[in-house]
Amino acid sequence: MPASASAQRGPREKLVEVHHRLCESFGCPIAYFHEHGPMDELVSSLLSHRTRNADSARAFRNLRDRFPDWEAVRDAPVEAVREALAPCTWPEAKAPALQRILAIITERRGSIELDHLADLPVPEAREWLESLPGVGPKTSAAVLSFSSLRRRALPVDSHHHRVAQRLGLIPASLSVGPSHRVLEAMLPAEWDAQQVYDNHEVLMLHGQRVCHFRSPACSRCVLLDLCPTGQARRAPESTLRQPAIPSHA
Ligand code: SF4
């Protein structure tokens, strides 16, 4: 499609077109990557903050191997939890934070489980989760979408966010946290949980494999005609007045 035609699209139409093209590239529907219940997903998500997936998965396995249940994690000496979380970034902060969250869930629920989230409307379920210390929109969406609950909620990670900014779907000034509500509001209302999950996954995969942080591979990008950043990068260097790539959030 010519760049002039793509420029006439509204942001919602553009997001849907981006979704369809990336789905064709990556093969939707995308398989869910695990079958955690919501409580396990919450812990997994908290451990993954600023940590490589492989490392947070090792820390999660350590917790599961060393403690019989989440009650035992809650009541253990903090040093024992910190040791289990050693593969993560900042185990010294994550261990007490995790124990605090487990204690709060016990107080509120009488036990450590999140089964009630299945019966709450998604906005209320997200509000409940985000009332826990250290839980933001990415974690609340991950718990609802990635867990066995399979609810309709859109997580936005740094790759997804960067691609959305470069495509002009959201302003370059909009940080990851507030971008959750903006990007989710742009999705077609009739999309089900799988399609919303696919949308996150394909934008994330595109960021990991094509629209890299330092050197986006615009010349082989299926979104080039839709992308103002890619178009600016193609322009002769002498016509570029300012950097084409927004800074990483
Ligand atoms: S054209 Fe370039 S900047 Fe735009 S989405 Fe593709 S790789 Fe990213």
For the Cβ of 18 lying below 6 angstroms from any atom of ligand 1, the answer is no
Global pTM value: 0.89
For the Cβ of 166 lying below 6 angstroms from any atom of ligand 1, the answer is yes
pLDDT value for 120? 98
pLDDT value for 247? 39
How many other C-beta atoms lie within 10 A of the C-beta of residue 73?
Answer: 21
If pLDDT is split at 50, 70 and 90, which confidence band does 234 have? confident
For the Cβ of 3 lying below 6 angstroms from any atom of ligand 1, the answer is no
Which ligand 1 atom is nearest residue 229's CA?
A: 3
Candidate CATH numbers 3.40.50.300, 3.40.50.150, 1.10.1670.10, 1.10.10.60; the one for domain 3-30+156-236: 1.10.1670.10
Q: Domain ranges in the chain?
A: 3-30+156-236, 38-146
pLDDT value for 5? 47
In terms of CATH, what superfamily is 38-146? Answer: Hypothetical protein; domain 2 (1.10.340.30)
- Å from CA of 210 to ligand 1 middle: 7
Angle between helices 193-209 and 137-146 (to 10 degrees): 120
pLDDT tens per residue across span 56-110: 999 999 999 999 999 999 999 999 999 999 999 999 999 999 999 999 999 999 9
**Within 27-151, where are the H helices?**
38-47, 53-66, 70-75, 78-84, 91-109, 122-130, 137-146
Lowest-confidence range among 29-38, 94-103, 126-135? Answer: 29-38
Q: Is the pLDDT of residue 133 over 70?
A: yes
